[in-house]
Amino acid sequence: MSEIEVNSRFLSSVGVHVDDAGGAGRPVVLIHGWPLSGESWKAQTPALRSAGFRAVAYDRRGFGRSDKPSGGYDYDTLTADLEGLMVELDLRDVTLVGFSMGGGEVARYVTKYGPDRVHSVVFASAVPPYMLQSDDNPDGPLTKEHAATMTADLTADRDKFFDTFATQFFSANGELKVTEAQRQEAIGLCQQSDQKAALKCMASFGTEDFRADLPGITVPTLVIHGDGDGVVPFEGTGARTHAAIPHSQLKVLAGAPHGCNVSHPDDFNQALIGFLNS
């Protein structure tokens, strides 16, 4: 896979690392989850290339191999980074695939920049419509107490937090669904994150409200989610996103955890490529 470094020509003037498979196929932009990097898509990029698509995966600012500025971790700025990538690489007729936190960038991108460059979108184990539980969002799966605990634990002991989080990320019904080597690889990607970025993005994906963004999505949409997701539970996120976008397709992966693109790559890739070809 060829590598393209995108730097100050981004709208945000932040260097964002991009892995671009190139080729003449329709582009698929892969937006990773928190607190990983574009390398978390390595089970998808070969399958996409083999199916004739151009796979473009990038590291969100503050994560992986990208620059790690002190700020800019709100969704509007992160979505401006995505628009910078789209313009820099002159990507058109794109499918945006947002995993977990990345689903927020997908929803906000269509609201802010419109569908001109977008062919379709995918919400994979994604946080929309609104994670934080509140009086006007009783179905939000993230309580204020749990959010505060996560922030405190990451602040107090980063290594311990990522070790525990990686287990939760890949577990369904109390059972780890990946190998220990895969779990350790995910911990390594977590450790590439900047601490400020990790904490600020945690606050962003936990508190951002995308309920007004989803009804404006008119392009073809796939919602894919594991029914064993204990990090971003399906009932409070994927099911509600599917309901908010009436024309959306839904694929629920049986027995799959949050990190279903790694634990169930064949099922995930089949659903994704089937949607891309539809």
Q: Where in the sequence numbering do the catalytic residues fall?
A: 100, 229, 258
* Per-residue pLDDT tens listing for the chain (278 residues): 444 443 333 444 688 999 987 778 999 999 999 999 999 999 999 999 999 999 999 999 999 999 999 999 999 999 999 999 999 889 999 999 999 999 999 999 999 999 999 999 999 999 999 999 999 999 999 999 999 999 999 999 999 999 999 999 999 999 999 999 999 999 999 999 999 999 999 999 999 999 999 999 999 999 999 999 999 999 999 999 999 999 999 999 999 999 999 999 999 999 999 999 99
Helix axes 144-156, 158-169, angle to 10 degrees: 130
Give the per-residue pLDDT at 9. 36
Residue 47 belongs to what domain range?
2-276
Find the Cα–Cα–Cα–Cα dihedral 31, 36, 39, 44, rounded to 10°.
-50
Q: How far apart are CA 124 and CA 276, in angstroms?
A: 14
List, in sequence order, every residue forming a beta bridge with 175; answer none if it has no partner. 172
Rounded to whole angstroms, the Cα distance separating 229 from 262 reads: 13
| Structural domain count, the chain | 1
pTM over 0.75: yes
Predicted confidence at residue 15, as pLDDT, reads 87
Q: What is the CATH number of the domain that holds 116?
A: 3.40.50.1820
Structure confidence at residue 8 (pLDDT): 32
Q: From residue 225, how far is each of 103, 184, 222, 272 by CA, in Å?
A: 12, 23, 10, 11
